């Protein structure tokens, strides 16, 4: 059995319906980690779906726990020999809330349904479809070659959608157990539906609230208009001093001093495209002088996620007493996260907005990470994908979104190569989450080729 035959076998398995049946069983488990009533489902996903699948591939499995985690972790390993490359895999089986009443008629988040050339179901993109693809590809290599040819370690968590509580501490406590040469995992979207993609890290994410409490209770706008301050107006101006009318950040400590040349070079041939359902890119928005790919993958962005003052549902003729905004900073490697909040406080005070309160929404933030686009493992992975698909993959220095990648880079010291099996218009985290089956079919071929090549002996492991 050779590489081409192994990939052809994986495609035949997909076409037979076996892949869909496996994925449908996993999507049927409502693993909503934001819903405390789903704790039994979170544990069941590991014990009834993940562990049997790994054990069928000859992996040794163990359940790991941490007091901060909402559910257990499953760790699986298959060690084939000393001197072989050791690859760490990761996935998460929890999903965002199903939002079942908001799905299209005839669709359910817990039933894999095909309609108009798409497969619908909660978790098909994030992340059940992605780690199922990788596990099935690994199983196909084992079936065809009789061995992997590399050592595999895999961790499945059930709390990523709630910030991965306990993951950092678990990795710190198990550094020796999790030691590997490379993290090869899948999450997030491709650059475009039809272009295989590699990303090497993630943008960081910091969520915080801005609020003004001017007084207790609202007051009649006719009697008091022009005499007392309006927090809604004040907060709007405060936000306007943070970011300009075209989305350019105005706090110097929040952006890089420059776009590194390796990042600019990697993004030179990357065209952002959300597919037919994605929004149209607005070239005038964001940091001027950068391409769309550079703005989302190489720079920082500030967003207002929600804003409230008064009673939007039933407005009355009264000056509101309070205003509130949930804000988010997405940031890349370069700026110092420790300076983000002090710089914001100084910036607001300097512009006359000392009345604005700043409140962090969580204890920890997702840090920004990226490995060198010229790293030998990156070149190796890109060559493997090209050999499988005939396409040059997009190489993104980091994902536009956020993942707990800093735990793998900073705590475990891993090089991180992510190969996503989704696309930007997949309705991830929204009703009607879906993927085109042809994308999953190509992804299965990509991962079969990567795992085959990992065991073929010609990897950067020999150079490290």
Residue 149, classed as helix, strand or coil, is coil
- Indicate if the pLDDT at residue 461 is higher than 80: no
Average pLDDT of the chain is: 95
Joined tokens for residue 192: 């475009």
CA angle 461/463/464 to nearest 5° reads 70
In the chain the first and final C-alpha atoms are separated, in Å, by: 29
Q: Do domains 3-202+368-463 and 204-256+300-360 have the same CATH topology?
A: no
What backbone phi and psi angles, to 5 degrees, belong to 53?
-65, -40
The strand pair at 318-319 and 357-360 is best described as unpaired
Burial of 247 (0-12, 13-18, 19+ CB in 10 A): middle
- Contacts of residue 185, defined as CB under 8 A and 6 or more positions apart, other chains included, come to 88, 89, 90, 91, 131, 134, 416, 418, 419
* 462 pLDDT more than 70: no
pLDDT tens figures, 15-41: 999 999 999 999 999 999 999 999 999
In terms of Cβ atoms closer than 10 Å to its own Cβ (0-12, 13-18, 19+), residue 384 is buried
Q: Which of 424, 431, 434 is nearest to 293 (CA)?
A: 424
pLDDT for the residue numbered 273 = 79
Mean pLDDT value across residues 71-99: 97
Q: Is 294 exposed, middle or buried (0-12, 13-18, 19+ CB in 10 A)?
A: buried
Whole-model pTM? 0.91
Encode pLDDT of 205-261 as tens digits: 999 999 999 999 999 999 999 999 999 999 999 999 999 999 999 999 999 999 999
User: What integer pLDDT is reported at residue 449 of this predicted model?
Assistant: 98
* Domain limits, the chain: 3-202+368-463, 204-256+300-360
Average pLDDT, stretch 60-86? 96
Q: 115: number of CA atoms within 13 Å, CB side?
A: 13
- Looking at residue 276, its pLDDT comes to 76
SS3 content of the chain, % helix, strand, coil (to 5): 35, 20, 45
The mean pLDDT of 65-90, rounded to a whole number, is 96
State the pairing for strand pair 182-185/301-309.
Answer: unpaired
pLDDT attached to residue 277: 74
Question: How many CB atoms within 10 Å of residue 87?
Answer: 26
pLDDT at 395: 96
Look at 95-104, 361-370, 431-440 and tell me which has the smallest mean pLDDT: 361-370
User: What architecture does CATH give domain 204-256+300-360?
Assistant: 2-Layer Sandwich (3.30)
Residue 233 CA to residue 375 CA, distance in Å, equals 49
- At residue 362, the pLDDT reads 73
Average pLDDT over residues 76-84: 96
Q: How many Å apart are CA 168 and CA 412, to the nearest integer?
A: 10
Question: Is CATH 3.30.360.10 correct for 3-202+368-463?
Answer: no
């Amino acid at each position: 059995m050779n590489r081409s035959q192994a990939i052809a076998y994986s495609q035949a398995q997909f076409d037979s319906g076996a892949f869909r049946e496996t994925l449908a069983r996993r999507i049927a488990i409502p693993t909503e980690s934001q819903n405390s009533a789903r704790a039994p489902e979170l544990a069941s996903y590991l014990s009834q779906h993940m562990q049997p699948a790994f054990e069928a591939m000859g992996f040794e499995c163990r359940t790991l726990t941490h007091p901060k985690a909402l559910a257990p972790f499953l760790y699986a390993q298959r060690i084939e020999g000393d001197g072989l490359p050791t690859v760490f895999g990761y996935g998460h089986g929890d999903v965002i809330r199903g939002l079942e009443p908001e799905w299209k008629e005839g669709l359910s988040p817990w039933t894999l349904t095909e309609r108009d050339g798409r497969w619908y179901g909660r978790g098909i993109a994030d992340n059940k479809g992605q780690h199922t693809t990788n596990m099935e590809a690994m199983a196909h290599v084992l079936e065809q070659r009789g061995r992997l040819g590399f050592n595999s370690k895999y961790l499945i968590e059930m709390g990523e959608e709630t910030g991965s509580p306990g993951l950092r501490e678990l990795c710190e406590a198990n550094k020796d157990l999790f030691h590997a040469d490379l993290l090869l995992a899948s999450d997030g979207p491709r650059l475009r539906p039809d272009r295989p993609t590699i990303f090497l890290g993630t943008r960081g994410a910091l969520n915080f609230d801005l609020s003004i409490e001017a007084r207790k209770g609202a007051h009649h706008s006719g009697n008091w208009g022009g005499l007392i301050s309006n927090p809604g107006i004040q907060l709007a101006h405060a936000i306007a001093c943070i970011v300009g009318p075209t989305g350019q950040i105005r706090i110097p400590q929040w952006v890089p001093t420059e776009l590194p040349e390796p990042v600019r070079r990697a993004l030179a041939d990357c065209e952002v495209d959300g597919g037919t359902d994605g929004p149209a890119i607005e070239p005038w928005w964001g940091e001027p002088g950068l391409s769309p790919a550079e703005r989302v993958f190489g720079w920082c962005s500030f967003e207002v996620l929600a804003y409230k003052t008064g009673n939007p549902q039933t407005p009355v003729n009264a000056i509101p007493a309070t205003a509130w905004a949930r804000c988010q900073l997405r940031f890349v490697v370069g700026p110092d996260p420790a300076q983000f909040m002090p710089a914001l406080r100084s910036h607001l005070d300097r512009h006359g907005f000392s009345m604005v309160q700043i409140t962090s929404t969580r204890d920890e933030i997702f840090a920004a990470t990226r490995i060198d686009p010229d790293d030998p493992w990156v070149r190796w992975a890109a060559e493997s994908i090209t050999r499988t698909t005939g396409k040059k993959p997009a190489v993104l220095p980091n994902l536009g979104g956020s993942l707990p990648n800093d735990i793998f880079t900073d705590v475990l010291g891993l090089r991180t190569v992510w190969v996503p099996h989704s696309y930007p218009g997949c309705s991830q985290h929204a009703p009607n989450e879906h993927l085109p089956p042809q994308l999953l079919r190509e992804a299965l071929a990509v991962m079969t080729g990567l795992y085959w090549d990992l065991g073929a002996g010609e990897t950067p492991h020999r150079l490290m």
